[in-house]
A and B are shown apart, each in its own frame.
Chain A
């Protein structure tokens, strides 16, 4: 197992060096795949005695191919030895450094390797005509995307196109004939093999064969790959491949499968017996098979984890330690409000209040073992106003309603009228006093939800006039004349896809299709900074819970961490294979979660930019994420209408909430984490018993180490309520500090 991984690493390392080799001359690269065609280095390096003419070699190769096809392996070997083609084998072994390593792991089976080589050489005549193209390709690739040619060249001719169907159906028959327990596991191979074989055919200009192949086997694929298949089936030309990033991603990343050792052995034995090298090659080159010891997984177990663009996450990816605990609350003296005190006294339970306060205090004093160091990442100092806000927060939280299955929250709906289908993003401030909406017409609008109107700060000249020593200076700087219920912020030049208030309510972030993230002041209602870096639509942005930092993610497939006072990003979180659609900060601000169109969720460490978790299981692009208030759990919602719950510490999926019928655009935990609210395009808000969902998970050692869990199908028990709005998709959800649920969305008259 470990050795396999090592081999993998070597390969990766080798891949990285490939572009450099390329610059020396393509010979090395093509030597790997189509050595026979080039009269340069590989052949000249061949033993002098056996250096045949090109034509002779082609005939030989044809003969070899014939023998090969008729399974006369001995003859093949003899012929090859005599014809002096042996160096191909050495050559390829030398270049394909990992090959030997892999061979060892696979049981030192040199035979399979050998036959694989023979196929590569057998294909030489055809790749002959390809070679100019390959040169062209690599030349073209050199200036824009050096990776492309490398990636694509992996698809150079490797076998008879007409036989692909035979190969595939042969494997299919085999898998269908194996024992049930293995069948489910091996069935995972179908999709990646199908795609790679199809792309290989397309790459080699076998358009008709590719079409036939697709037609024949596309129906066998799991239904949740339909979207990908739709993209694939439109793609029939080599030229199309070059511009298609999704497929490039498919190539650059290895499709990860988890297969038990038994099943894997079964597969390997079959492929060796049949000498099914075509498939074996693909498995070696494009798939990463994560072998584990133990019981093969069941179909439902596999289905719950699969569906992402690049297979499941590797197990060791989720092994890193994540400090998911909360930071210690800063110690703030809570001045006992006299009025409050009296009121409490009158009610005759002052004691209770005291104990409450104590419990709050003690909680923050105790150091959570899972919490990161307080100064693991530098956080801004608390300002006086922040402290005041904390005090307000604590006061409010004493009045918080304890929610539960018997005590559901009231829901308050903020309906955007006359939005003309243009509402794209909504955010509330933490204290629920302000509401911001991003619109497709490039504007951001801010509303005051309280009777307090929005006011701008006076102009500089007027500010000079005021008495700076007075107590109410903060009140005096505001210009009464500008008071209004809402303000419009102009500045973007494309639809605004994400908005986020800063925790201190002084700033607002907005991300837009124009590729920028803008920081707005809510004192002057002007734009302060435009953060440029994504260059493509920015789908989402969010402030850190402590302010100062913020994260954004967009079409360029990376998420970026910014600080408000830096015009360049501090971190770039790269790894997603498709657009980053939503970004969320962990409550302790040390981690960032991103959801993507590649149907995975990744958790990134802000400190070092590493990806520490990959969660797979969604069958559609992820459009909403929410951390539980205690930082232990993550909820994600996607276009497939399901909410998945994740245990961050163990890196496990712990729940699946089915019920919604359309994309889930908003998720929010109640302030104490007992209730999860989800809002969707299907015009409903659903409340889930998250406490129960978290409690019911048994995280024994086995599950923790293997990552295989049996998900109880208890969506209906966990569903506490479904609340319909009328023709109003739920765009955003927010729990007030007292646990009133606020929902927002635009009324859709159609």
Chain B
């Protein structure tokens, strides 16, 4: 009965006793309070023990307030009033400190009294009879209502499920049916946290149920929830969190969801390319892509950007009052895209550097390094900067494809190209984001560039370095694309570089460069790759920078985030050759003010992360 034993029971501290005494106007000495506290504890325990008897005889498993009150009544003590509800009162955790409390909502009596929807009385108790087992075998009729989604669960899992639903949703048994609670952000939040704890539970083998979990999470990311109608509801954070969760699932359960990754990419892409969808869905898609890693961004978001841009631009350009809300949403999306794209660029740059710096020495450990990083940031860390894809089922491809070095010429060129195109959309804001990144030696001057003028300046780096770089790992990781959409890159020829990223450039009406790229790529593409990629992404093209004169080069510098090379600076220089005439979009890009999230991306993630993260 030392401390360990004591902690089995609730304790009433003497301070509480004193407080109670003072509230009734009695001053208690320290000893009296201590004695009283001890006695109160004992009486409480006694009453609790007695109350369990009432529970057992009522043939219940759960101790109710009524049981406790009966025990109190029989020991001639005043009963506790105000907690007559038969339903469980769910405990809510407080974010700070380990405090749990019963939520006690204030009820507006006036509203309640004047309410037009008079609550219906309880349904009448009745008896239904059914033959359950005929001759001791066969269940003729399933009893009770268990949601179909969980009927296939084994008995143990069913129990677990019941416990969870009871704990999380109280009454609502529709765990897998997120839709039924889409009006309630709190519920959804709780649901997501539950999914997170499910995923994190090391003793639970989720098996095929990961799929349903993923679909639930996807729902939260993408669907235009009922709750998003009200602009006051912060469904954005919900989406952010869901996206984080999604990436987390892939990190931890990648082996279980091998096929799922591409399905998700596809569905995200579908949402993104569907202009009818509300902006919040688009936002979700962008965040989701972002969470899935920069490869996903590169593969899906980037090619879609031109097409999508037109829509977004239209929204943002509409200054009418009625459009205000939509416009705000648009800005959100804009910000999300910006963040995603920015990381894409950075990661690309980073990968280049790594390749350059370490060659095979640095990179073979990519996968493990990434894993190590994840462990370093437990829970839902902001998606780390993975150089390789998360260890999905495709990890094997990753390794296997390591031999191929076909790409080396492609990547170095594509980065600046990409930058150019992106810059054409975002203008200064993109640049600003880069410049706000860790201070760099030497490079920033050209980075914080006055974009146009800066570019015109001649290269200051070593433009010819890239040609000698070998980047086996990077190549491999590009190979993992599911639909062989990376296959065009088998071609070492510079022109084919353009085709690296699948996308639908058809819709890219706003970009004048589209026509150019289309013609170019179709001509330059080899037959095999085009046919394959065309199946899925018929017009997947990348606006290829013309092989014009290398007008300038610039350096992207940064600090690598990974643990492995902490604090190591990298510096890359390349020589992009964006022909000036491929940049008309920047004309309107300049119209855009710096909106969205201009702060550092990492911090943003952290913020949203912690604002939502409740230790479960």
Contacts and interface: CB of A to CB of B under 8 A. Distances in A.
Interface stretch (A58-66, A128-136, A234-242, A248-256): A234-242
Contacts of A437: 125, 127
A539 B132 contact: no
A413 B86 contact: no
Contact of A408 (B5, B58, B137): B137
A490 interface: no
B127 A418 contact: no
Given A497-B57, A723-B133, A726-B142, A244 B46 contact: yes
B39 A412 contact: no
A415 interface: yes
Interface in B178-225: none
Contacts of B39: 237, 239
Nearest to B87: A750
A93 B38 CA distance: 41
Interface in A720-744: 720-721, 723-729, 731, 743-744
B136 A720 contact: yes
Given A723-B132, A727-B144, A729-B59, A211 B125 contact: no
Given A408-B136, A513-B54, A750-B166, A414 B128 contact: yes
Contacts of B38: 236-237
A230 B127 CA distance: 40
B26 interface: no
Interface stretch (A14-22, A36-44, A382-390, A439-447): A439-447
B130 A413 contact: yes
B132 A215 contact: no
Interface string B115-129: 000000011111111
Most buried by A among B54, B59, B128, B146: B59
A408 B8 CA distance: 46
B1 A236 contact: yes
A726 B144 CA distance: 5
B59 A513 contact: no
Contact of B129 (A233, A412, A421, A581): A412
A639 B61 CA distance: 11
Interface in A475-509: 486, 494-495, 497
A217 B9 CA distance: 20
- Interface band, chain A: 35 or more
Given A237-B39, A414-B129, A495 B143 contact: no
A713 to B, nearest CB: 24
B312 to A, nearest CB: 47
A417 B70 CA distance: 25
Contacts of A536: 74
Nearest to A720: B136
Contacts of A210: 1
Given A214-B5, A234-B46, A418-B123, A413 B132 contact: yes
B129 A235 contact: no
A31 interface: no
A420 B70 contact: no
A750 B70 CA distance: 23
Interface in A495-537: 495, 497, 513, 536-537
B88 A424 contact: no
Contacts of A449: 127, 129
A409 interface: yes
B53 interface: yes
Contacts of A211: 1-2
B295 to A, nearest CB: 45
Contacts of A230: 8, 49
Interface string A347-370: 000000000000000000000000
Interface in B1-35: 1-2, 5, 8-9
Contacts of B171: 749-750
A411 B132 CA distance: 6
B58 A410 contact: no
B136 A416 contact: no
A539 B59 CA distance: 12
Given A440-B66, A750-B166, A579 B128 contact: no
B53 A597 contact: yes
Contacts of B166: 750
B361 interface: no
Given A215-B1, A244-B46, A417-B128, A731 B134 contact: no
A728 B5 contact: no
Contact of A237 (B42, B61, B128, B173): B42
Contacts of A234: 9, 41-42, 45-46, 49
Given A579-B53, A728-B143, A417 B133 contact: no
Contact of B56 (A218, A423, A621, A720): A621
A720 B456 CA distance: 89
Given A418-B126, A621-B56, A663-B56, A721 B146 contact: no
A233 B1 contact: yes
Contact of B134 (A410, A579, A639, A728): A410
Contacts of B74: 536-537, 555
Contacts of B70: 494, 513
Contact of A447 (B41, B60, B127): B127
Nearest to A732: B59
B131 interface: yes
B136 A409 contact: yes
A411 B139 CA distance: 10
A726 B129 contact: no
B135 interface: yes
A410 B143 contact: no
A258 B344 CA distance: 80
A470 interface: no
A257 interface: no
Contact of B132 (A240, A244, A725): A725
A721 B136 CA distance: 7
Interface string A431-459: 00001010110000101010000000000
A421 B57 contact: no
A681 interface: yes
A747 interface: yes
Contacts of A621: 56
A750 B136 contact: no
A453 to B, nearest CB: 14
Most buried by B among A235, A440, A536: A440
A417 B125 contact: yes
Nearest to A424: B58
Contacts of B125: 416-420, 422, 437, 439, 445
A608 interface: no
Contacts of A639: 56
Contacts of B135: 407-410
A735 to B, nearest CB: 13
Contacts of B58: 421-422, 424, 440, 495, 497
A536 B57 CA distance: 14
A747 B143 contact: yes
A642 interface: no
Interface string B72-113: 001000000000001010000000000000000000000000
Q: Which 7 A-B pairs have the closest CB atoms?
A: A408-B136, A726-B144, A211-B1, A411-B133, A418-B123, A726-B143, A234-B45
8 contacts: A233-B8, A236-B42, A240-B46, A243-B46, A420-B125, A435-B127, A437-B127, A721-B136
Interface of A: 210-212, 214-215, 218, 230-231, 233-237, 239-240, 243-244, 407-425, 435, 437, 439-440, 445, 447, 449, 486, 494-495, 497, 513, 536-537, 539, 555, 579, 581, 597, 621, 623, 639, 662-663, 665, 681, 687, 720-721, 723-729, 731, 743-744, 747, 749-750
